[in-house]
Amino acid sequence: MNRESTAVLDALAVAAESKIETVLNATKPLGISLDKTIDAPLVTGAGGPFVSITGQSFEARVFRADRALSALEDLKYAARRLPITRPMKEASISSHFGPRVDPFLKSLAMHTGMDFRATYGSRIYSAGPGTVIHAGWKGGYGKMVEIRHTNGFVTRYAHLSRLQVAEGTHVLSGDVIGNVGSTGRSTGPHLHFEVRHHGKPLDPAAFVKAGAELTPILSF
């Protein structure tokens, strides 16, 4: 029975530490350091010769498992506050972040977001929990929702046909915030999605990718 208990504790610790590394690896490209929320000794590389675990006390195993599980919960809490939820569930990408030929002027220009191709009226979801700081018309963005998240992140959802939130509204990840349209500087129905960090536009693809990788972990 003692052997079974120690095996379970070791399995819990290893599984939690593996998930911790997965979360850290997935969020690292976003330019933030979630590893500051956990104990540094938990964050290690992997490799070396196989050495059987012997001589470790039961209390030490309990401590390791408890520390790893606690650190994982803290890390999951921090990751869930990031804008990594896909703003449209099934829509394909019609234009990526970066330099492109402007659809109106036909000259090279910087595209500061990611465009999702979708039918008129399709639902748009908040990429993360936060507070709506703009809900209305904004120049070439047309009808736009802007949400402030933690860690200096802001997301923008542009060219909407209908707004489902108002300025000051607190939203959670996955809440419906509007519907696809073609308002503003747009050639047809789609969602223009932006992620900004302290005002600087970032590639939303990294956030969408992180969300897809972490869904199995953050769902529990």
Residue 65 lies in a domain: yes
In a domain? residue 44:
yes
**What pLDDT, on a 0 to 100 scale, did the predictor assign at position 32?**
86
Average pLDDT in the chain: 90
Let me know whether 20 and 41 are in one domain.
yes
Under the banding of pLDDT at 50, 70 and 90, the label for residue 212 is very high
- Percent of residues, the chain, with pLDDT higher than 70: 90
State the pLDDT at residue 71: 93
Q: Which residue has the higher pLDDT, 180 or 48?
A: 180
DSSP 128: S
Query: What's the confidence (pLDDT) of residue 96?
Result: 96
Range of the domain at 54: 2-80
In a domain, 219, yes or no: no
Which of 80, 101, 134 terminates a domain? The answer is: 80
64 and 138 together in one domain:
no
Task: Pick 6 or 191 by higher pLDDT.
Answer: 191
For the entire predicted model, the pTM comes to 0.88
Q: Are 147 and 131 in contact (CB under 8 A)?
A: yes
pLDDT of residue 43: 46
| Beta pairing partners, 142 | none
Averaged over 107-117, what is the pLDDT?
A: 95
Please give the pLDDT value at position 59.
87
DSSP state of 183: -
For 33-76, what is each residue's pLDDT tens digit?
888 777 645 544 544 443 345 556 888 889 999 999 999 999 99
Q: Please state, in angstroms and as integers, the Cα–Cα distance from residue 170 to each residue in 20, 45, 78, following that order.
A: 29, 39, 18
Work out the percent of the chain whose per-residue pLDDT is above 90: 76
